[in-house]
Amino acid sequence: MVRGYSPRRYLMCPPEHFRVAYAINPWMDPGKPVDTALAVAQWEALRERYRALGHTVEELAPRRELPDMVFAANGATVLGGRVLGARFAHRERAEEADAHHDWYTTHGFAEVRPAEHTNEGEGDFAPTASWLLAARGFRSDPLAVQEAQEYFGHPAIGLHLVDPAFYHLDTALCVLAGDEIMYYPGAFSPGSRAVLRRLFPDALLATAEDARAFGLNAVSDGHHVLLPQEASGLVEPLRLRGYEPVPVHLSELLKGGGSVKCCTAEIRG
């Protein structure tokens, strides 16, 4: 089986000011040093890989006082050319929402809506062909599910995260193409696992080892799947389904609790 590639448009933010200055997820440890130069080099390699695959990469200017801005997926959700802004759960990241809002309003997007309820963008919203998967439990408010459904007109499915190590949906689930996903069952409540089994009976299930290596914090263009090289157990299952895995190295950014997807906001026209 050969999967269908389609060129994408992404928004990324260079990690020029990336550091672990606080701990707002279990992966962050301010006591561990961060090599910012290495983080920049790894991020640039990811950006250039996207471009080599034919994708467009836009850049959001980083702000010194916002060290987590590199995790651009959290700033908004874009679907059908409409933008729903983020409202961050932690004050340390709150001003990132304004930076994303300003970028979209100055780049030709006519419909840009600030969020009424707490959500962290594509951290907790993942569109498939049929559904908008929307997580709650650690960062996003349950009311954000309804808000997103009303704004985008895309049926939203609420999913409850229960393991703090998987504090965002994009650490526990990845949309591969259409209505095909991969996910780690242990990150979800029993009821949410039942919903996922019903909606996606043929999903690729990740092991705990690959999930904890951020293997589900991946980006798919319908054919290529860019994922952390540490999640080696996902490579062959993806190939068997017709995808081309593209391992990348983002060791420094993992210190902030993010990897490929966290660095990559998709701009869906």
Divide the 269 residues of the chain into consecutive groups of 10 and give the mean pLDDT of each group. Answer: 81 98 97 96 98 98 98 98 98 98 97 98 98 97 97 98 98 98 98 98 98 98 98 98 97 97 97
Active site residues: 168, 262
Q: Write the DSSP string, 71-102.
A: -GGGSEEEETTEEEE-B-SSGGGTTHHHHHHH
Using DSSP bridges, classify how beta strands 156-160 and 132-136 pair: parallel, antiparallel or unpaired: parallel
Q: What pLDDT score does 181 carry?
A: 98
Q: Where are the beta strands (DSSP E) in the chain?
A: 9-12, 56-59, 76-79, 82-85, 112-113, 125-127, 132-136, 156-160, 173-177, 180-183, 204-205, 219-220, 224-228, 244-248, 265-266
